[in-house]
Chains A and B, each alone.
Chain A
Amino acid sequence: QSALTQPASVSGSPGQSITISCTGTSSDIGAYNYVSWYLQHPGKAPKLLIYDVANRPSGISNRFSGSKSGNTASLTISGLQAEDEADYYCGSFTSSGTWVFGGGTKLTVL
């Protein structure tokens, strides 16, 4: 159950687009379309942004989009806003019947 691999940090200016990658294996991301993305502000519970690779829960802005290719999933945030500054986590279902998260990516809005 090794954690998925995410970049430790990414940054972008307001209005720009950024993409966060999440790399797993053929036993998790590569095997299932059960990939989720979360946003977490300090001291708060995680907030679901994307589920099942590319689906947005009700109320989530269409500035957030998800995709997957092979063993790597990606989260794209377009029209970057100051409020998007937070930690982002990916997660995936695994062949062991468990769930695994990535190590997290800190997004800085310059």
Chain B
Amino acid sequence: EVQVVQSGGGLVQPGGSLRLSCVASGFTFTNYAMSWVRQAPGRGLEWVSGVPAGGDYTYYADSVKGRFTISTDNSKNTLYLQMHSLRVDDTAVYYCAKDIISGRLVAGSCDYWGQGTLVTVSS
């Protein structure tokens, strides 16, 4: 059974840092692209960052480029999102998600999602 389980998140002050984790199981982690997607309260979905199958490259939305870093630990089937210089407008539920097709560059057609974790940036 495919599972994607997230951890991390919480309340942080503006300018602070936070790391999100996402542990995957039930599929060959290195064969699938993975993405982080966020949703601010009452707002729509926003793609944040992604790694391709194999994780050799990283991609970011302009809104987080230079502040967020996506990474993987293939030995632990884990996806991370390290967030620095957090701003109030980074407040959102963050989801990690797996692409439905193996070998893709960007996970945008995601068939399995984590449970979501709330990141609140506030003083």
Assuming the A-B contacts A45-B113, A98-B60, are A3 and B106 also in contact, with contact meaning beta carbons closer than 8 angstroms in the complex? Answer: no
Interface string of B92-112 (1 = CB under 8 A from A): 000100001100011111110
Interface string of B38-56 (1 = CB under 8 A from A): 0000001111001000000
Q: List 16 A-B contacts (CB under 8 A).
A: A1-B61, A1-B62, A3-B44, A45-B114, A48-B111, A89-B45, A91-B47, A93-B105, A93-B106, A97-B105, A98-B50, A98-B60, A99-B47, A101-B44, A101-B45, A104-B44
Q: Write the nearest CB–CB distance from A39 to chain B, whole angstroms.
A: 12
Q: Quick one: which of A46, A51, A97, A99 contacts B100, CB cutoff 8 A? A: A51
Any chain B CB within 8 A of the CB of A64? Answer: no
Interface residues of A in 76-110 (CB under 8 A from B): 87, 89, 91-93, 96-104
Any chain A CB within 8 A of the CB of B71? Answer: no
Q: How many residues of B contact A (CB 8 A)?
A: 26
Any chain A CB within 8 A of the CB of B3? Answer: no
CB neighbours (8 Å) of B59 from chain A are: 96-98
Residue from the set B59, B60, B109, B111 with the largest chain A CB neighbour count within 10 Å: B109
Number of residue pairs across A and B with beta carbons under 8 Å? 69
Q: Write the nearest CB–CB distance from A70 to chain B, whole angstroms.
A: 20
Give the interface of B toward A (CB within 8 A): 35, 37, 44-47, 50, 59-63, 95, 100-101, 105-111, 113-116
Which bracket fits the contact residues of A? Answer: 20 to 34
- A-B pairs with the 8 shortest C-beta distances? A51-B109, A99-B108, A45-B113, A104-B44, A99-B47, A36-B109, A101-B45, A103-B44
Residue pair A91, B108 in contact (C-beta under 8 Å): yes
Give the interface of A toward B (CB within 8 A): 1, 3, 34, 36, 38, 40, 45-46, 48, 51-52, 57, 87, 89, 91-93, 96-104
CB neighbours (8 Å) of B62 from chain A are: 1
Question: How long is the Cα–Cα vector from A31 to B115 in the complex, in angstroms?
Answer: 32
